[in-house]
Amino acid sequence: MCGICGIAGVDGRGSETLETLRRMVEVMRHRGPDDEGFYCDEHIGLGHARLSIIDVELGRQPMTNEDESLWVVFNGEIYNYVELRKELLEKGHTFRTRSDTEVILHSYEEYGESFVHHFNGMFAFALWDKGERKLLLARDRIGIKPLYYAEEGSRFLFASEIKALLESPTCRREVDGASVAEYMERSYVTGQKTFLCNVKKLPPGHLLTLNGGSPTESKYWDVTFSQEEDQGEDHYVEELAWLISDSVRLRLRSDVPLGAHLSGGIDSSTVVCTASKLLNEPLKTFSGAFDEGPRYDERQYIRLVSEACGTEHHEVVPTMEEFFNIISRLVWFLDEPVVGAGVFPQYVVSTLAGKHVKVVLGGQGGDELFAGYTKYYRPYFADRITDCVRFRFGSAGPLTLIPDLFRFFVNRGKTDIPIFVRKLSAPPSSLVLSTRLQKMAAQMPVRPIPPGLGKFAQMLYVDLKEYLQGLLHVEDRTSMAASIESRVPILDHRIVELAASMPYKHKMRNGLTKYLFRQAARDRVPEAILARRDKMGFPTPIDIWFSRRGTSLLRFFDSKEVDEKGLLDRKRAVQVVNEHIRGERDHSSLIWRMLNVELWHSLFIEGKKTEETVGFQDT
């Protein structure tokens, strides 16, 4: 894992370009504290901050081929590099290193732009074809690794993080109000947009080519929710179980110490149990929990898995004081706000892991691929009703729906229905926005959905393309902030493709989420974990903490700086905080987003340092 950056269209300004690249690399030093490297010619400059994982001695970047006609800077891992290297050697290629970076160069020589189809990995890289004067940017299929770019006059900038782009004096700091409004409503920003008008994300599964003129993007992969014939539960269970094992096996390749996050949920437990069986030594595992009550504490499940697998386990208990002390720094690491307050414990656990290992495995993706959230019940029953009307579930037709509904209310109704009612009564987040941003919120885009999908598949598609991107953003930034590499085996593209091909009835059954995933993990994960129905995620007690620090929050939002930024309606923001303090409504999620956009503006638009932003001391 590393940080990459570059500037195209330098027109021979080598010394000026190199100085800018040095600043861009330096601001991403957390992504690559082990080494740095630069390449400049009359057309382009490339920069790299390295976190050494594979071929520590010889894998320096930027890396070139034998005749120096190709140069590459690379962030991520090509997990099947061993197999690809063997194939390329058989085709006559010569290697100077054992690194996966060199595999990218020789794969391009052999296959041209179709080389990305050969990679199983998480990656964002820039390849400079000097002979063709062509720059090629690529991002992995799922979007695990980030890549941003900006066009500024004749110059084209790219980097792993937005803050690196801002080190160029030509990159404008102009707020995209529509993106801020969308985040406040959805907790993430869709598509290629960012909080800055001139900065875009390269979408997952895309290439960008710059060969004189304007850059062009092309899609090389997308997930397809097929309507193929049902292969049967046994087939899917067997295939998924094998793919999980193979995916974890590939992601255990490392020349440095490796461990795993362990939350006690089904996904991370599956990864830990699988890895433990494949290793010849105890796996190091890392977890966090809070002392604010059972709603925020999964230690009983975490320890059960750790003991069952014989892991070398490490735990940390994040505190309210830590949260308020580092919240500004978290916003800085994130580049722009996204999803919820789980970023805080993730960062703390990553910092703990960084004291012991340089690589961690995690369980991201299982909920979005195999329907792990309670929100999937509604589209599930919509599709069930449709199928029953069509008599696709047997001759009993609609009658087959009755026992399924009954089991849902028995298994989930007690916990999930009150949550659903609370969400219905919550006011829209757009009410706290300034008048200008409220108008933008009313025009939020709707992602186009491929035709022919049922309601269940539609929700899975949107979550894979939108919500999961926010989770991966946090996964990347919190791990990189601690200078460790995070790998997510469940998001191997082969697993994604298999999950998309399954009929929805295998993903949810009898009111049980992730039904088929549970079956595939049955031979390796303790039954007490598989039987869990209390999906928790990584809950953070911000509802309690915001009440305790209510006076400081009121002082923060009831200030002229809020008016000057023009993002929030000051009066309504204060009202929300007061309602939360009085216990009238739980506004913790909304307050979290309000805090994030205000702090983001201070750091990325006004250019303040993290220590210059307002603190939240006890009053």
The residues carrying an active-site annotation are 2
From CA 72, how far away is CA 65, in angstroms rounded? 9
Q: Which 3 state secondary structure label does DSSP give 306?
A: helix
With 0-12 / 13-18 / 19 or more C-beta atoms within 10 angstroms meaning exposed / middle / buried, residue 447 is: exposed
Nearest CA-CA partner of 247 in 496, 474, 485, 514: 496
Contact between residue 265 and residue 535 where contact means Cβ atoms under 8 Å apart: yes
Stretch (H or E) spanning 520: helix 515-520
Q: How far is CA 106 from the centre of its chain?
A: 29
From CA 77, how far away is CA 253, in angstroms rounded? 10
Q: In terms of residues, how long is the chain?
A: 619
Contact between residue 137 and residue 158 where contact means Cβ atoms under 8 Å apart: yes
Report strand pairing: 284-288 vs 258-261.
Answer: parallel
State the first-to-last Cα distance of the chain, in angstroms, to the nearest integer. Answer: 42
Amino acid at residue number 159: A
Contact between residue 490 and residue 363 where contact means Cβ atoms under 8 Å apart: yes
Q: Which 3 state secondary structure label does DSSP give 411?
A: helix
Amino acid at residue number 329: R
Cα three-residue angle 602-607-608, rounded to 5 degrees: 60
Which residues in 472-494 are b (16+ Cβ under 10 Å) and which e?
Answer: bbbbbbbbbbbbbbbbbbbbbbe
Main-chain dihedrals φ then ψ at residue 448, nearest 5 degrees = -65, 135
Residue where the block lists tokens 């993290």: 610
From CA 82, how far away is CA 159, in angstroms rounded? 27
H-only helix segments in 206-261: 233-251
From CA 413, how far away is CA 405, in angstroms rounded? 10
Contact between residue 43 and residue 133 where contact means Cβ atoms under 8 Å apart: yes
| Structure token digits, residue 316 | 């940390």
Which pairs with CB-CB distance under 8 Å and at least 24 residues apart come from 230-237? 230/503, 233/506, 233/516, 233/519, 236/498, 236/502, 236/506, 236/516, 236/520, 237/516, 237/519, 237/520
Nearest CA-CA partner of 591 in 617, 552, 565: 552
Contact between residue 304 and residue 526 where contact means Cβ atoms under 8 Å apart: yes
From CA 290, how far away is CA 312, in angstroms rounded? 21
| Structure token digits, residue 170 | 């030509």
Cα three-residue angle 399-402-403, rounded to 5 degrees: 115
Nearest CA-CA partner of 222 in 127, 143, 125, 280: 143
CA quadruple 369, 488, 195, 202: dihedral, nearest 10: -90
From CA 351, how far away is CA 253, in angstroms rounded? 22
From CA 428, how far away is CA 159, in angstroms rounded? 35
